[in-house]
Structures are given as structure tokens and as C-alpha cells.
């Protein structure tokens, strides 16, 4: 299995200060039927890094932050003290990845934007069943 770097694309224009980013991956799968979170949606963490969106700051934060379905995280920039929130949009989690480019989650941000995603523990790989006759 070979992965390209995860991609974070803006989804829509800002609404009430909240910007949405889709977390997309692509991979070449061999003898793999699908890849999916190995937890219930609300227990599965999506690990991301963020940067401040304040003009003149744009500080990239070094800590990986876990985001869970249905919860928001408050974040404050260490450089300019800007405050913001991070969260996951509801309704787009636990979708099995079967190849090509696929959206894993939608990240909602206010005051920050995602810059990196880390595949960590918690992904289940389901192999293809071979039938020999």
C-alpha cells in the first residue's frame, strides 16, 4: 500500500468566521479491499497540526491535536494570542477508503487552518478474499 501525502482543501467560503477543509487521501492498494477506522466514530481521533491565520502571524503550531466527532477544541496562538476553535463537521466520518482520492473528514476551523494530518493507530485494513478454483 502506498500513500500520497494527505491533502487539506478548503471546502467552501467562510461562513460566520468558520472555514471548512476536506481531508483527502489517495493510495495505491494491493490485495486490500478497504481501509477504515477501527473504532466507533465518536471514539476515533483525527490527528492534525494547525497554523494561525492572523495577518502577520501565520505561526505553525508544533503539537499534534486530536479531533473527535461532536467535540470542539479551543486553541490559542503562542505568538499573537489569537483564539480560535477546531472541530469536525458531522456526517462525514468512518467512510471506508477503497482507493483513488477520497474525503476522510471535514475539519471546521475558526482562526486557524489545518496544515498536516497524521495517520496513527486506529485504521483497520481489510484484505481481499481470493477464490481459487
C-alpha cell at 122: 486506529
C-alpha cell at 71: 467535540
29 versus 20: the higher-pLDDT residue is 20
Average pLDDT score, the chain: 78
| CA 121 and chain centroid, separation | 14
Kindly calculate the radius of gyration of the chain based on its CA atoms and give it in whole angstroms.
16
The answer, yes or no, to whether residue 102 has pLDDT greater than 50, is yes
Provide the pLDDT for residue 101: 76
Give the pLDDT confidence of 34-90 residue by residue, as tens digits.
777 776 656 778 889 999 999 999 999 999 999 888 788 999 999 999 999 999 887
Q: What is the mean pLDDT of residues 98-104?
A: 76
- Return the closest-CA partner of residue 40 out of 11, 69, 67: 69
Amino acid at each position: 500500500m502506498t500513500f500520497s501525502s494527505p491533502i487539506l482543501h478548503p471546502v467552501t467560503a467562510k461562513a460566520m468566521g468558520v472555514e471548512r477543509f476536506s481531508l483527502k487521501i489517495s493510495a495505491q492498494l494491493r490485495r486490500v479491499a478497504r481501509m477504515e477506522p477501527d473504532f466507533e466514530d465518536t471514539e476515533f481521533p483525527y490527528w492534525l497540526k494547525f497554523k494561525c491565520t492572523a495577518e502577520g502571524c501565520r505561526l505553525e503550531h508544533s503539537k499534534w491535536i486530536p479531533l473527535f466527532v461532536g467535540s470542539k477544541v479551543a486553541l490559542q496562538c503562542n505568538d499573537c494570542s489569537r483564539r480560535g476553535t477546531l472541530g469536525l463537521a458531522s456526517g462525514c466520518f468512518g467512510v471506508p477508503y477503497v482507493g483513488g482520492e477520497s474525503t476522510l473528514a471535514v475539519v471546521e476551523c475558526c482562526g486557524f487552518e489545518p496544515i498536516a494530518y497524521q495517520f496513527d493507530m486506529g485504521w483497520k485494513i481489510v484484505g481481499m478474499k481470493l477464490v481459487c478454483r
